[in-house]
Chains A and B, each alone.
Chain A
Amino acid sequence: MTLPLVQINNLSLRYGDFVALDDVSIDFMPGTCVVICGPSGSGKSSLLRCVNRLENFDKGDVIFDGQSLKAAQNISKIRSNIGMVFQHFELYPHLSVMNNITLAPRYVNGVNRDEAEAKAHKLLERVGILDQAKKYPNELSGGQQQRAAIARALALEPKLMLFDEPTSALDPEMISEVLQVMRDLARNGMTMLVVTHEMGFARDVADEVVFMDKGKVIERNESGGFFDNPQSDRAKEFIDRVLQKI
């Protein structure tokens, strides 16, 4: 029997009076691509940030690959196994694309520069921006920046990838190039948690869809079932609204 890669147990998180996560329990199996969706303020990004403890949760725990994050002393080591992609890319503006990617392998894993660059080379090729390696982030288009950010997250060969609205800050014509990279990742068996409003991606690529509202997981379903036959009224409403937009 395979064990879940991520186990979230009774997780709660507040910002002052606002309840971001309300007693959430959910598991994610290795090798699956799960899309987390829901209206804004539903807690989906907060949930994602708890999975690598960028957000310090109040109650409950996250077990990643058998390790409790709450008790973890070596949180940096655990985080190096979890890649994260942000809405606004968050590439380091003072470093070239190449150095953006090689930084963590060199400083976290102690890989030497040549080896790290060889690896980065392959990653840049994989995301299709090898020709941009020497440039600085502000010289790249949004889509290229996000692909570089994905390469950076992959550089440590993570077991899990977190995507926090990876296409929300992109111009429409650049969304597909980023989604394509994510699709390839999912096909190659990467475990992925993706917070996104891209319902096309959710339907075609994701294995499962998790629907959240007001800090709770309302519904979890395989992606086909979620769209064709949503169980809860709130999910129905959400799907109608999102699909109407298109």
Chain B
Amino acid sequence: MDFSVINDNIEFLMLGLMRSFQLAFFTIILSLIIACFIAIGRVSSRRSIRYPSAIFVNLLRSNPLILIVFWFFFLVPLITGKTLPEFHTVLIAFVVFFAAYFAEIVRSGIQSVGSSQVKAALSTGLTYSQSMRLIVLPQALRNMLPALVTECVIVFQGTTIAYVIGMREFLHSTSLVAERTVRPVELYLFAAFVYLVICFAGTRLALFLEKK
């Protein structure tokens, strides 16, 4: 075992880790925004809104993430005739995929608030969308925070999938160094350690928020 190999390549590895963080960060922000709209659609009284939202969620949740990535990587360029940079391709696929998961979390959060709060808000003359934005979503967010943090951890772990289309996220960077230096044990131990620290911290945070 010679862990100096990590120190020698730390800059390259950290670049990969930053890429993973970026992907996770933008995925979480964008998919959460979309998820809010889909979740509101899921609880809508109108079928024309409720059904498409339900179809979106169920379709995406019944497919593996890797397949969604393939979809956007192979098929979308075929259809549109344009190719996007890897990062954008993966980001779009991730946002679509995780929006479905976040939507279910947001939906249960919304349903935890209860319709009488909406009635109270409506009775004061707020519109339905104002009631959602000002009354329901802030409370829902608080209730669903632990589940959201847990899902964020899953998003971070999911960034490794970007490996398959050659994006240099953390795991890919690690494997490149491992191949070049022929030190796979040290490098994959290091990668495991980094993922463990980050994800464990996230899980603890979720537990802490749950108890609060």
Contact = CB atoms under 8 A, between A and B. Distances in A.
Interface in A76-111: 76-77, 79-84, 86, 88, 90-94, 103-104, 107-108
Given A76-B127, A156-B124, A94 B119 contact: no
A80 B126 CA distance: 8
B77 interface: no
B117 to A, nearest CB: 6
Contact of B120 (A77, A86, A94, A155): A86
A152 B135 CA distance: 14
Contact of A156 (B125, B130, B134, B139): B125
Contacts of B127: 76
Nearest to A79: B125
Main secondary structure on B side of the interface with A: helix
Contacts of A54: 119, 122-123
Contact of A76 (B116, B125, B135, B138): B125
A140 to B, nearest CB: 16
B47 interface: no
Interface string B91-126: 000000000000000000000000011011111111
A107 B134 CA distance: 10
Interface of A: 49, 52, 54, 76-77, 79-84, 86, 88, 90-94, 103-104, 107-108, 152-153, 155-156, 162
Nearest to A86: B120
A93 B138 CA distance: 10
Contacts, number: 60
Nearest to B119: A54
Interface of B: 116-117, 119-127, 130, 134-135, 138-139, 142
Most buried by B among A81, A82, A90, A153: A90
B116 A107 contact: no
A76 B120 contact: no
A90 B120 contact: yes
B125 A86 contact: no
B125 A94 contact: no
Looking at A76, A83, A88, A91, which has the most chain B CB atoms within 10 Å of its CB? A76
A79 B139 CA distance: 23
A162 B134 CA distance: 23
Given A86-B120, A104-B126, 14 more contacts: A79-B123, A79-B124, A80-B125, A82-B123, A83-B124, A84-B120, A84-B124, A90-B116, A92-B117, A94-B142, A103-B134, A107-B130, A107-B134, A108-B124
B115 to A, nearest CB: 10
A153 B121 CA distance: 10
B122 A79 contact: yes
A94 B138 contact: yes
26 contacts: A54-B123, A76-B126, A76-B127, A79-B123, A79-B125, A80-B125, A81-B125, A82-B123, A83-B123, A83-B124, A84-B120, A86-B116, A86-B119, A90-B116, A90-B117, A90-B120, A91-B120, A92-B135, A93-B139, A94-B142, A103-B124, A104-B126, A107-B130, A108-B126, A152-B124, A156-B125
